[in-house]
Chain A
């Protein structure tokens, strides 16, 4: 499967601050998926990006796919305590073996 690197590994933010996690690949991706895993929970699918330069929004979450389709980002505006968890990116399609990044663990300080 395709390998991706996620940064940062950990992020602590004050409630109300913004948060961004990045997912980088050395090869061109056909698409990328994002998942959220709450503490003690299982990964939950958030979104899939397919097109070069694609931007999708879900309320306070903004997902971007780079023009070269080698990187992606997830940005959360004005974090809330409900945003706590680990965010994983995963290159999808082209290979059914969905390889997950190591994730970014987000802590929100109230």
Chain B
């Protein structure tokens, strides 16, 4: 597609439920990243995928968070047993190269609210 597509744009879930967030990167972009942005805060790195290499999961805040990328394209971020502190905007970005030399293109994000 022309840009990075994320769905849903908004998600309200009850505490303890599982949620899945989807990211469809720009076609041809080999690198894909997930970030989290709490209200009025900066961006917190979560996970990085590059081609067929093992993902860098060093930013995942707990084992309730997991992500996969199928076929080197679409990625899904799963949060199990959601907590209120998981409420944030989850942003996906993709880049043409491993080092993002041409910048990262972000999606519009998924606003997750845990009630």
Contacts and interface: CB of A to CB of B under 8 A. Distances in A.
Chains A and B bind each other: yes
Contacts of B59: 97
B26 to A, nearest CB: 12
A78 interface: no
A1 B33 CA distance: 14
Interface in A89-110: 92-94, 96-103
Contacts of B103: 33, 35, 45-46, 48
Contacts of B56: 96-97
B41 A102 contact: yes
A99 B43 CA distance: 8
Contacts of A42: 91, 106-109
A43 interface: yes
Interface string A28-63: 000101010000011111101000000000000000
Contacts of B101: 31, 48, 92-93
B31 interface: yes
A93 B100 contact: yes
A26 B50 CA distance: 28
A88 interface: yes
A94 B98 CA distance: 10
A97 B57 CA distance: 10
Interface in B85-115: 91, 93, 98-109
B108 A101 contact: no
B56 to A, nearest CB: 6
A49 to B, nearest CB: 11
Nearest to B3: A42
Centre residue among A45, A48, A96 by max chain B CB count within 10 A: A96
Interface of A: 1, 31, 33, 35, 41-46, 48, 88, 92-94, 96-103
Interface of B: 31, 33, 35, 41-43, 45, 48, 50, 56, 58-59, 91, 93, 98-109
Given A98-B33, A100-B35, 10 more contacts: A33-B104, A42-B106, A44-B106, A88-B42, A97-B56, A98-B45, A98-B104, A101-B42, A102-B41, A103-B42
